[in-house]
Amino acid sequence: MEFYEILDEMEDMLHEAIKVPISGKVLVDPQRLLEKVDQLRAVLPEELGEARSLLEEQQSVFAKAEEVAQQIIEESKYEAARIVENTEITRQARSISEELIGTAEKLSREIKLEANQYAQDMLNHMERVLSEGLKSIQRGKSELKEVIGEKDDWSDE
């Protein structure tokens, strides 16, 4: 069961709960609500695992991009050195090598920026998801405490 499905069920429980006249409060079966909280606890590690997987994927993409960029730079340097050996076209070789290195370095920067942006976007998304989940859990716990507190008050009567 997914995180949001459990939250929806908890919300349904609150909407379907017996309303206490005048107080604006409701009676909820604490056992059912605690079961939902336990289910949320079980699902959160899965959500965190997905976030970790996304982060590892981003790091892998970044490492591969760095590797490709370094390979392009090395190939450019090798090509430049090979061209320089030919004395007739030394000036042309310098121009080409600088252009290749510049292109490779630009590509490397672009790949790094894109990888960093991807990582930032994924982390921001997971932060929002986990923050919303945590807020929902805290609301549920607070409402459960209110309900449990009301039951204790009623038993004194």
Q: What is the pLDDT of residues 84-104, one digit of tens each?
A: 676 666 777 788 889 989 998
pLDDT of residue 1: 61
pLDDT of residue 157: 47
Q: Tell me: pLDDT of 29 over 80.
A: yes
Q: Residues for the chain: how many in total?
A: 157
Q: Tell me: pLDDT of 147 over 90.
A: no
Query: What is the pLDDT confidence band of residue 153, given thresholds at 50, 70 and 90?
Result: low
What is the distance between the alpha carbons of residues 131 and 115, in angstroms, rounded to a whole number? 24
What is the distance between the alpha carbons of residues 28 and 44, in angstroms, rounded to a whole number? 23
What is the distance between the alpha carbons of residues 119 and 139, in angstroms, rounded to a whole number? 30
What is the distance between the alpha carbons of residues 20 and 14, in angstroms, rounded to a whole number? 12
- Enumerate the β-bridge partners of residue 19: 26
What is the distance between the alpha carbons of residues 157 and 148, in angstroms, rounded to a whole number? 15
Q: What is the pLDDT of residues 50-94, one digit of tens each?
A: 888 888 888 898 889 889 889 989 988 888 777 667 666 677 778
What is the distance between the alpha carbons of residues 82 and 94, in angstroms, rounded to a whole number? 11
